[in-house]
Amino acid sequence: MGRLEQGLDWLDDRTGYRRVIDVALTEPVAGGASFAYVFGSVLTFVLLLQMTTGIFLAMYYSPSSTDAWASVANIQDGVTMGWFVRGLHAYGASAMVILAGLHMLQTAAYGAYKKPREMSWIVGVLMFGLLMAFALTGYLLPWDQTGYWATRVATGIAGSTPVVGQQVQQALQGGNEYGNLTLTRFYSIHVFILPALLIGLVVIHIALFRRHGVTPKWGQSKQQLERTTQPFWPDQMFRDMIAIAVVFAAMVGLNLWTHGAGLEGPADPGSSFDARPEWYFRPLFQALKYFHGPMERVVALGLPVVVGGVLFALPFVDRGDDHNPKTRIKYLSVLGLGVVVAGALTAVSFLADSNDARYQKAVAQAHQRAQLARRLANEHGVPAAGGVAVFTQVPHYEAKQLFAKHCASCHQGDARKGPEFGPGYNSRPWIRAFLLNPNGKRFFGLSGFGKMKPVKERGDKLDALVEFVYAQTGPADVKGDLAAAGAKIYENKCAATCHPAKGEEPDGSGPPDLYGRGSADYLVDLIADPGQKRYFGKLNIVGGDKSGDDDDDDDDDDDTKKVKKKVQIRMPRFGRKLNDDQRRQLAEYLRSLRRN
């Protein structure tokens, strides 16, 4: 006797484990093993897989509205094989739904819900309901755009329940709005409550199965069945394992092919997102499109009740000993019709989406945004504010938002009024183009500011002038000699005629001081009030450039008094709207355009 056997004998002596295994495996399968009976075992396998992957996902998941998406993104893009584990869990959910459906169809076809197995069927229908609850609660947990918006619809439907709707909805989502409590609630339901219920029902389901045994194919005599009976192990288990292997291979293959389940961008209540539920809710989703007004909620709440009611009633309506599907065709056709309608609705829903160019575009955009969010989350982490705050990790994110809100209407697009700010702004080529044609549309042509004479210098002198202007913006790659030569030309030509000379106090007549132009401090100050003497002065007042070369301070004051009521300025002062920090961010953003 080998050491191992000795050890096992010892273990069996103390625990009696062999008897347990023996009892578990020596189930006689009346009429012989068959591939028709594999679904229960495959479901049990996928359930175990779901529990395993689920438990390990919980190891890296954090159910809070700030952390949920970030933690799932970390599983997806950071943790070793995290995408694989999460993908198995997601595809496992789909597999459960498909297998449960097939299991029920097989049971119905064989009349296995008939006396004395009614309770097995009822427990099974309850478990199918739990599967749906699993799917619904699990879909929200990543707190991404699809999960967030699709689940809002689901809880919204619950909220349309007559009389107690509000209470039901608030109990489900944990308060008046989606937030931390929604996640902690869904999480606890998904990982503690539902599994406990499901395990309980699985135990009952299997115990009932062991009590009544398999329902063999119809039309066999008792003697026939006894003669062809085979043991569960290994005859049936072998077939079960083949089915398990096929399902597992399909799941793993799909998981590898798609590199795990999808993850949209972080939930953003401020966005508009065209959400879709998981595929197994598509029939209901599509059905709701055909009903409006009060009928909508009747269908949304009623359809699941009707489907459940029909399923529960089945064993009590389809009675009698006859298991032959041909004689039970009217009952089976109800189920068949249900499957066909659900399939048709699903197909219509997916077809409608694939033919909807606008939807496809929105999906592509959302996908791009999701990719960006995930890249930023992986590289920089998600700020404590969570979720969409990940986008603030984009360089100049704040500034771009500010620019879009306050500046873009005048500085970008065809309807703009000022110079165009885009990639290359204040680069050498931009400055050169500006100096040669300052009144072009790209520059001051649309602004209504006075006209600047184009620079007449060419060749080396133009190069020098460009370098001089470029040097003012404070870049690192200035050619010093060239810029110095440019400064001389500037002092001789430009400062002598219009622009203030070096060190000269600007008189406010308009042409701005070029020293320091484009530097951060210069821009911060200019954005605060472009009408300051150092910048555009009177040029920034509509009609201000025509009031001539009025140097007298007193007159200036008079002027302001006179025009105070109807003074119209060209570029607004942002000193109050944007604080110093915001203007500095904008300035840094504008300076960053040079490199682009």
Partner 1 sequence: MVESNDSMADADTLEGPESEAGGGDGSSPVDPSRRTFMARATVSMGGVIGAITAVPLVGYVFYPVGKKLVRSPDEPIEVAAVHELPPGGKPLLVAVNADAVRDAWSVSAAPLGAVWLRKLDKGGTTEVQALSATCPHLGCSVGYDEDAKEFLCPCHKSVFALDGEKKSGPAKRGMDPLTTEIKNGRVTVRYKKFRSDVPDREEV
Nearest to 159 by CA among 149, 147, 171: 171
Q: Which of 6, 11, 22, 327 binds partner 1 (CB under 8 A)?
A: 22
Q: CB 147 → partner 1: shortest distance, Å?
A: 17
Q: Which helix (H) or strand (E) holds 7?
A: helix 3-15
Q: One symbol per residue from 78 to 107: x for binding partner 1 (CB under 8 A), - otherwise; what is it?
A: xxxxx-xx--x-------------------
Q: Which of 192, 238, 290, 316 binds partner 1 (CB under 8 A)?
A: 238
Alpha carbons 468 and 471: distance in angstroms, whole number: 5
Q: One symbol per residue from 49 to 78: x for binding partner 1 (CB under 8 A), - otherwise; what is it?
A: x--x---x--xx-----xx--xx-xx---x
Q: Does 26 bind partner 1 (CB under 8 A)?
A: yes
Burial status of residue 66 (CB atoms within 10 A of its CB: 0-12, 13-18, 19 or more): buried
Q: Which of 16, 175, 200, 213 binds partner 1 (CB under 8 A)?
A: 16
Q: 223 or 355: whose CB is closer to partner 1?
A: 223
The residue count for binding partner 1 (CB under 8 A) is 55
Q: 69 or 490: whose CB is closer to partner 1?
A: 69
Q: 238 or 316: whose CB is closer to partner 1?
A: 238
Q: CB 81 → partner 1: shortest distance, Å?
A: 4
Q: 175 or 381: whose CB is closer to partner 1?
A: 381
Stretch that binds partner 1, among 48-56, 149-157, 293-301, 344-352 (CB under 8 A): 48-56
DSSP 106-163: HHHHTTTTSTT-HHHHHHHHHHHHHHHHHHHHHHHTT-BHHHHHHHHHHHHHHHTSTT
Nearest to 254 by CA among 424, 84, 138, 113: 84
Q: Which of 210, 211, 227, 451 binds partner 1 (CB under 8 A)?
A: 227
Amino acid at 487: A
- Furthest-apart CA atoms within the chain: distance in Å: 122
Q: 227 or 417: whose CB is closer to partner 1?
A: 227
Q: 12 or 588: whose CB is closer to partner 1?
A: 12
Q: 37 or 248: whose CB is closer to partner 1?
A: 248
Q: Which of 40, 111, 138, 386 binds partner 1 (CB under 8 A)?
A: 386
Judge contact between 93 and 134, C-beta under 8 A.
yes
Q: 150 or 382: whose CB is closer to partner 1?
A: 382
Q: CB 436 → partner 1: shortest distance, Å?
A: 45
Alpha carbons 386 and 315: distance in angstroms, whole number: 51
Burial status of residue 203 (CB atoms within 10 A of its CB: 0-12, 13-18, 19 or more): exposed
Within 491-575, residue ranges assigned H as helices are: 495-497, 520-528, 553-563
Q: Which helix (H) or strand (E) holds 432?
A: helix 428-436
Judge contact between 148 and 106, C-beta under 8 A.
no
Q: One symbol per residue from 240 to 269: x for binding partner 1 (CB under 8 A), - otherwise; what is it?
A: -xx-xx--x---x-----------------
User: Treating both helix axes as pointing N-terminal to C-terminal, what angle do 165-173 and 145-159 enclose, rounded to 10 degrees?
Assistant: 150
Q: Does 18 bind partner 1 (CB under 8 A)?
A: yes
Stretch that binds partner 1, among 14-22, 128-136, 144-152, 299-307 (CB under 8 A): 14-22
Q: 49 or 123: whose CB is closer to partner 1?
A: 49
Bond into 231 cis (ω within 30)? no
Q: Which two three-digit tokens encode residue 284?
A: 């209901």
Q: Does 189 bind partner 1 (CB under 8 A)?
A: no
Q: 89 or 583: whose CB is closer to partner 1?
A: 89
Q: CB 333 → partner 1: shortest distance, Å?
A: 35
Q: Which of 211, 289, 380, 562 binds partner 1 (CB under 8 A)?
A: 380
Q: Cα separations (Å) of 49 from 15, 45, 53, 91, 245? A: 27, 6, 6, 11, 13
- Which residues, in sequence order, are CB contacts of 139 under 8 Å at separation 6+? 146, 147, 150, 151, 277, 278
**Any idea how long the chain is?**
596
Stretch that binds partner 1, among 20-28, 122-130, 478-486, 560-568 (CB under 8 A): 20-28
> E strands, 163-276, where?
230-231
Contacts with partner 1, residue ranges (CB under 8 A): 12-14, 16, 18-19, 21-22, 25-26, 28, 32, 49, 52, 56, 59-60, 66-67, 70-71, 73-74, 78-82, 84-85, 88, 226-231, 233-235, 237-238, 241-242, 244-245, 248, 252, 377, 380-384, 386
